[in-house]
Amino acid sequence: MAAYFIAQYVVNDRKLYGEYQAAAAPTINAAGGELVAFDVAAETIEGAPPGPQTVILKFESTDAIKAWYNSAAYQAIVGKRLAATKGFAVIAQSMNFGR
């Protein structure tokens, strides 16, 4: 079942975030991930998100996301995103009714 890595944040350090972006793309591709959405000005219609930047990546499964996220290649660079932004990331399955 498809699963999505969804991150929403505000970028506080554009230079460092740019370094992260350049290094992250190859890790996503190597793990079979697909960029579904990248929006620097996502419109909020409910709640109070940490910032307007929203990124959605699609993988074949939750396990695939965790394998990518925990990979040595991604762990070597994720600190740049965490240092450059403030926000959150979640994993959502395409259809999960809690059964």
Q: Is residue 65 part of a domain?
A: yes
Q: Is residue 99 part of a domain?
A: no
Q: Is residue 98 part of a domain?
A: no
Q: Is residue 15 part of a domain?
A: yes
Which pLDDT score is estimated for 94?
A: 80
- pTM equals 0.90
Which pLDDT score is estimated for 92?
A: 95
Q: Is residue 54 part of a domain?
A: no
- In Å, how far from its chain's centre is CA 59? 11
Helices (H), 1-99: 14-30, 62-70, 72-75, 78-84
- The CATH number of whichever domain residue 71 belongs to comes to 3.30.70.100
Strand partners, 92: 4
- Of the candidates 30, 84, 79, 33, which has an alpha carbon nearest to the alpha carbon of residue 56? 33
Domain span at residue 36 reads 3-49+61-93
Q: Is residue 56 part of a domain?
A: no
* First and final C-alpha spacing in the chain: 14
Q: Does residue 99 surpass a pLDDT of 60?
A: no
**Number of folded domains in the chain?**
1
Predicted confidence (pLDDT) per residue in 12-57, tens digit: 999 999 999 999 999 999 999 999 999 999 999 999 889 899 999 9
Which pLDDT score is estimated for 27?
A: 98
